[in-house]
Amino acid sequence: MSLLLPYTAVMAGEGYDGGFTRGGRLGCSVAAIVGTPLFAFLLLADSLGDCDPGTDCHQGFLLHVLLPSVLIASAAGLVVRILVNRLSAG
């Protein structure tokens, strides 16, 4: 008896397929391929430059680096996932 899974997994056909769709796999791959370099570029662009004395600069890591990277990578992955799933279903 497994303590982690209180139910039995049912395998149909050729066995367990991994639970992911082709579009989900490709969408996740595209999100990683797009998001990683984008994050690195935005992080580099945000960290470059000198600050003027008395001004607050380099204060927006979450808003200027992380948020755009996550939004763009998520959108790219979702679009690829939807397109691949629709094309493979029809």
Count of the separate structural domains present in the chain: 1
For residue 1, is it within any domain?
no
- Per-residue pLDDT tens over the stretch 57-90: 777 788 888 999 999 999 999 999 999 989 987 7
What Å distances lie between residue 81 and 17, 27, 64, 74, 78, CA to CA? 18, 5, 26, 10, 5
For residue 26, is it within any domain?
yes
For residue 8, is it within any domain?
no
For residue 63, is it within any domain?
yes
Q: At CA 72, angle to CA 57 and CA 81, rounded to 5? A: 165
Report if pTM > 0.85.
no
For residue 12, is it within any domain?
no
For residue 4, is it within any domain?
no
For residue 17, is it within any domain?
no
Mean pLDDT score across all residues of the chain: 82
Count of helices and strands (H, E) across the chain: 3, 0
Distance CA 23, CA 88 (A): 8
Domain that holds residue 70: 22-48+57-89
